[in-house]
Amino acid sequence: MESELAVEAIEAFDDNYIWLLTREGYDGCAVVDPGDDKPVRKALKKRGLHLDAILVTHKHGDHVGGIAGLKKKWPDAVVYGPAHEPIKDIDVKLGASDSVELNGLGVSFDVLDVPGHTEGHIAYFTNDLLFCGDTLFACGCGRVFSGTFEQLSDSLQTLAELPADTLVYCAHEYTLVNIGFAKWVEPDNPDLITREERVIAQREAGQPSVPSVLGEEMLTNPFMRTDEASVIEAAERWAGHPLQSRREVFRALRTWKDRDYD
């Protein structure tokens, strides 16, 4: 029986996760969003692995800064990334409806367009695994930089349509901070309180809080709950006027967090 894809975190900078994809019995691998090549090189050397592929979600330096160094070490590694962002060293440019076949790892990814954090951000989905960069965080979402609020709101709804048991591999350890803001929005949400207790225990034990589960995001992440009465009420209270759509609620929540919390 063929072994399953394994995913593990390579820590980088203060709070980044570079995701390492491997399969037992195969000496190749792939990485997602390598902002720094040094921890990747160290991890692969320790495991005796060679690099087949690099998957990139968006253009920011803490996600692409290690590509050149990795290509120098493994020049045959194929770099996949968004078609609509200015990223050097991309070999295969991707957009919605494209797929990525990593035959050595026995996996095929569907590519999703999820702009908003940046103008051309993409995500990679296979079976119950989602690599979403900075679009969706555990109990939060990315800031709006070179995209728009409307794009990011719509992108989160695109991700909300994936199966509830999807494991969400975002690129940062921001969960406890994000929970703090979520409690501003829904202080009486029992699922959120339970989640906070679990994440505190995970972090005190030195464990990552990622991946999260999409179904739990739908219960606790205010940016995924912009049609919930309690979230709408909190957003309208902060905005000081009625909000007419999920996009408007999202804009209010994201602006509130940017101005008053972060």
Catalytic residue positions, numbered: 58, 60, 62-63, 117, 134, 172
Minimal CA–CA distance to 26: which of 106, 109, 131? Answer: 106
Rounded Cα–Cα distance for residues 259 and 262 (Å): 7
User: Which two structure tokens, joined as six digits, stand for 201?
Assistant: 């225990």
Rounded Cα–Cα distance for residues 109 and 104 (Å): 13
Cα 94 to the center of its chain, rounded Å: 17
Q: Are 133 and 64 in contact (CB under 8 A)?
A: no
* Strand runs labelled E in the chain: 5-12, 16-23, 28-32, 50-55, 78-82, 92-94, 99-102, 107-113, 122-126, 129-133, 136-137, 140-141, 167-170, 212-213
Dump the DSSP string for 40-74.
Answer: HHHHHHHHT-EEEEEE-----HHHHTTHHHHHHH-
